[in-house]
């Protein structure tokens, strides 16, 4: 979806004020608030409605559009910069709609680009009731075959102007692919120790960092919290237990940079999300400079 | 929880096991008696419903966990006592959980060519809450119209009840047919469908449809149409919903919110109890009954649906 600089509603404007106070190093003059450009989607809705073959389909198109409109009201993208050598590229706070059969909930995401070169990585946690443990384990999963689907979508120029929501694309990938790799990594019988895998050099300092692990533990996961969907307000539905949750990913751009996204189901943004991202970016830059 | 069956098998654990004809748990295992009782009840229910003197031809397929258990036993070597205890506990749990994947396969002569029974343990909400449901999967020897579902829907989460109806389902049948043709190299004969209906992959697809947003939303739209006193404009859906005798039978099977193991603590707004997927010459039907052991109601609903659909 495209984002445009249009007068935000009070709900959307709230986030600009939150970002201003997010960190003392935020440059207030760098803040740009964008909201979804709904014109294209509205035109498509009208065309689909006209083509509906029966009353059922017509009702379905109408209902889906109503639900989408309810979601759009909440979506916002806040671009900002930090007075820090670690953050060379703009940072985007973006609310991402996450859809489930029970309805749509929002994820607060922090997105940025780091000038280092790594393999794709997913960070998350898994509840493992079997076979031997009943604990949450944090897992870093790696997929070396992920480069192809990323081609063409991670253009840095597109990222810098903020019109196209790269964050939504990353989030989709994070939820589709991340949990699978996290489970494969968690359940593989003979995990490769980090010190035997030379490509783990860059990720190891991140996952060995106490501050990062504590930060990840403080995030709000769908596994332990009940969330009310924003598009079915009349229902008292709650999003179900999610066993494997991917909270963050580090994905390479064709320009050998890293796109980084971390999310938290705590809305509005607060808690450990931004400090954790800051810490991870600092470690990545430190290791890259060595 | 003390019940050993309260642990669900992971897919990767299941892959380490294999199905065997007439595989039963060893005598003395806590779940062995239950496994045999379950088998007898199903045979009795099918025979009684079909008004036969003796049971129709059937196979019993049990999931044999021996190989995986051997692997777990080996993993105990050199481990501390606490870990060994946990592995022993898991071995007991795995044996019990494997019985959830037992299959009873009946070969019949009517509109239903093959009938497959399995039960399933699912996690519901919270970390340690589970529910069991019966699954009846059938191969019809005819194919009518488009995919459809039956279920209940209400505006709020409830202990069952609400609006019960048939609804259309957008399902990429052509993809499924292409997959089947690729898998069986174009030999889409009766035997292929007979084999396919009992596979875990097909059961998983059919059962998985019940939880999709598309399917659940379609029932919610049916509720909107009913409130607005509007029709769907889809002939087969209208005819099925107008058949009160059929919808009454479909309603009588246990839907998730209504009955789960005799408990009423589970709530939901929308449940799907039947999924119908028509292919070129045959169709696959999956019916779920949360009122476990009430096989007569499930069979009555399934056969009534088959007969009604064939005559539409």
In chain B, which residues touch A (CB < 8 A)?
7, 10, 12-13, 72, 83, 86-87, 90, 93-94, 123, 125-127, 155-157, 168, 211-213, 216-218, 220-222, 224-225, 230-234, 237, 269
Which region among A47-56, A137-146, B24-33, B215-224 has the lowest average model confidence (pLDDT)?
A137-146
Per the prediction, chain B carries an average pLDDT of 86
CB B206, CB B184: distance < 8 Å: no
B125, two tokens: 């909400």
- B1 pLDDT band (50/70/90 cuts)? very low
Helix (H, G, I), strand (E, B) or coil at B253: coil
CA distance B78 to A237: 48
* pLDDT at residue A221 is higher than 70: yes
Cβ contacts of A55 on chain B, cutoff 8 Å: 225, 230-233
* pLDDT at residue B84 is higher than 90: no
CA A216 to each of CA A63, A99, A104, A213, A243: distance values in angstroms, whole numbers, following the listed order? 37, 22, 23, 5, 16
Note the pTM of the prediction, 2 decimals.
Answer: 0.80
pLDDT average, residue stretch B251-266: 73
Q: Which candidate, A80, A101, A81, places its Cα nearest to that of A34?
A: A80
* pLDDT at residue A190 is higher than 80: no
Which region among A143-152, A181-190, B90-99 has the lowest average model confidence (pLDDT)?
A143-152
Q: Which of B1, B7, B9, B10 to mutate to test the interface with A (most CBs of A within 10 A)?
A: B10
Q: What pLDDT does residue A198 have?
A: 45
Which candidate from A60, A130, A131 shows the least CB-CB separation from B221? A60
Cβ contacts of A61 on chain B, cutoff 8 Å: none
B266, two tokens: 């589970």
Cβ contacts of A180 on chain B, cutoff 8 Å: none
Say whether the peptide bond before residue A131 is cis (omega within 30 degrees of 0): yes
CA distance A170 to A154: 9
Cβ contacts of B93 on chain A, cutoff 8 Å: 130
Chain-centroid distance of CA A95 in Å reads 8
Tell me, what DSSP letter sits at residue A262?
Answer: E
* pLDDT at residue B276 is higher than 50: yes
Q: How far is A127 from chain B (nearest CA, A)?
A: 9
Chain-centroid distance of CA A260 in Å reads 9
CB B56, CB B47: distance < 8 Å: yes
In chain A, which residues touch B (CB < 8 A)?
53-56, 59-60, 63-64, 99-101, 127, 129-132, 187, 234-238, 240-241
* pLDDT at residue A259 is higher than 50: yes
Which region among A21-35, B126-140, B147-161, B163-177 has the lowest average model confidence (pLDDT)?
B126-140
Per the prediction, chain A carries an average pLDDT of 78
- A187 pLDDT band (50/70/90 cuts)? low
pLDDT average, residue stretch B188-196: 77
Give alpha helix (H) positions in B99-188: 173-183
Q: How far is A221 from chain B (nearest CA, A)?
A: 14
In the Cβ-directed half-sphere of B221, how many Cα atoms lie within 13 Å?
26
Q: How far is B110 from chain A (nearest CA, A)?
A: 33
Cβ contacts of A59 on chain B, cutoff 8 Å: 221, 224-225, 230
CA distance B133 to B135: 7
Percent of chain A with pLDDT over 70: 75
Cβ contacts of B212 on chain A, cutoff 8 Å: 101
**Helix orientation angle between A55-72 and A39-50, rounded to the nearest 10 degrees:** 170
Q: By CB neighbour count within 10 A (0-12 exposed, 13-18 middle, 19+ buried), where does B308 fall?
A: middle
Within 10 A of B189 (CB to CB), how many other CB atoms are there?
A: 11
Tell me, what DSSP letter sits at residue B263?
Answer: B
Tell me, what DSSP letter sits at residue B175?
Answer: H
Give alpha helix (H) positions in chain A: 10-20, 39-50, 55-72, 147-150, 156-161, 166-187, 204-207, 210-217, 273-289
Q: How many CB pairs under 8 A join A and B?
A: 70
Q: Which residue of B has its CA nearest to A64?
A: B217
Phi-psi region of B160 (alpha: psi -120 to 50; beta: other; left: phi over 0): left
Where b means 16+ CB within 10 Å and e means fewer, B89-105 reads ebbebbbbbbbbbbbbb
CB A277, CB A213: distance < 8 Å: no
Q: Which candidate, B8, B12, B9, places its Cα nearest to that of B128?
A: B8
CA distance A200 to A192: 10
* pLDDT at residue A127 is higher than 70: no
Name the residue with higher pLDDT: B108 or A128: B108
Q: Which candidate, A127, A91, A174, A214, places its Cα nearest to that of B8?
A: A127
| Torsion angle (degrees, nearest 10) of CA B154, B157, B159, B165 | 20
B4, two tokens: 């050993």
Which region among A150-164, A165-179, B50-64, B292-306 has the lowest average model confidence (pLDDT)?
A150-164
Q: How far is A238 from chain B (nearest CA, A)?
A: 10
Helix (H, G, I), strand (E, B) or coil at A134: coil
- A201 pLDDT band (50/70/90 cuts)? low
Which region among A56-65, B70-79, B163-172, B270-279 has the lowest average model confidence (pLDDT)?
B70-79
């Amino acid at each position: 979806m495209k984002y445009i600089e249009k007068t935000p509603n009070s709900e959307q404007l709230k986030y600009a004020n939150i970002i201003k106070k997010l960190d003392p190093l935020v440059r207030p003059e760098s803040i740009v608030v964008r909201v979804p450009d709904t014109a294209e989607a509205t035109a498509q809705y009208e065309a689909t409605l006209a083509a509906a073959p029966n009353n059922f389909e017509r009702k379905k198109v109408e209902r889906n559009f109503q639900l989408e409109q309810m979601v759009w009201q909440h979506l916002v993208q806040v671009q900002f910069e930090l007075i820090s050598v670690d953050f060379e590229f703009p940072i985007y706070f973006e609310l991402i709609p996450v859809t489930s059969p029970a309805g749509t909930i929002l994820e607060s995401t922090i997105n940025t680009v780091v000038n280092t070169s790594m393999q794709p990585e997913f960070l998350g946690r898994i509840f493992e009731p079997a076979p031997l443990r009943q604990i949450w384990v944090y897992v870093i999963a790696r997929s070396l075959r992920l480069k192809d689907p990323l081609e063409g979508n991670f253009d840095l120029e597109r990222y810098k102007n903020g019109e196209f929501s790269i964050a939504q694309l990353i989030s989709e990938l994070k939820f589709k692919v991340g949990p699978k790799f996290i489970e494969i990594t968690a359940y593989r019988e003979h995990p490769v120790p980090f010190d035997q895998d030379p490509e783990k050099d860059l990720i190891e300092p991140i996952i060995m960092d106490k501050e990062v692990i504590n930060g990840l533990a403080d995030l709000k996961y769908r596994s332990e919290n009940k969330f009310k969907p924003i598009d079915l307000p009349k229902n008292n539905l709650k999003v179900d237990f999610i066993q494997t949750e991917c909270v963050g990913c580090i994905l390479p751009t064709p320009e050998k940079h890293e796109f980084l996204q971390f999310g938290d189901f705590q809305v509005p943004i607060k808690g450990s999300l931004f400090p954790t991202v800051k810490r991870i970016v600092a470690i990545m830059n430190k290791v890259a400079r060595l | 929880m003390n019940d050993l069956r309260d642990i669900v098998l992971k897919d990767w654990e299941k892959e380490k096991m294999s199905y065997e004809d007439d595989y039963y748990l060893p005598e003395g295992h806590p779940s062995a008696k239950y496994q045999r009782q379950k088998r007898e009840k199903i045979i009795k229910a099918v025979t009684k419903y079909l008004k036969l003197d003796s049971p129709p031809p059937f196979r019993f397929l049990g999931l044999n966990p021996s190989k995986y258990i051997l692997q777990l036993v080996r993993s105990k070597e050199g481990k501390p006592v606490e870990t060994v205890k946990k592995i022993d506990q898991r071995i007991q749990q795995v044996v019990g959980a494997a019985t959830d994947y037992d299959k009873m396969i009946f070969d019949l002569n009517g509109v239903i060519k093959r009938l497959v029974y399995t039960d399933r343990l699912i996690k519901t909400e919270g970390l340690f809450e589970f529910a069991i449901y019966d699954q009846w999967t059938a191969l019809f020897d005819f194919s009518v119209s488009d995919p459809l579902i039956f279920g209940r829907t209400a505006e709020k989460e409830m202990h069952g009840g609400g609006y019960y109806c048939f609804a259309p389902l957008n399902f990429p049948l052509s993809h499924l047919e292409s997959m089947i043709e690729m898998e069986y190299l174009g030999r889409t004969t009766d035997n292929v469908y007979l084999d396919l209906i009992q596979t875990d992959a097909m059961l998983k697809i059919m059962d998985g449809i019940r939880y999709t947003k598309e399917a659940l939303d379609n029932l919610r739209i049916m509720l909107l149409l009913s409130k607005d006193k509007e029709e769907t404009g889809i002939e087969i859906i209208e005819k099925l919903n107008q058949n009160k005798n059929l919808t009454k039978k479909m309603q009588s099977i246990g839907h998730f919110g209504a009955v789960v193991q005799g408990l009423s603590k589970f709530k939901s707004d929308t449940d799907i109890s039947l999924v119908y997927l028509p292919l070129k010459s045959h169709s696959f039907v999956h019916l779920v009954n949360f009122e476990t052991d009430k096989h007569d109601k499930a069979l009555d609903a399934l056969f009534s649906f088959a007969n009604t659909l064939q005559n539409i």
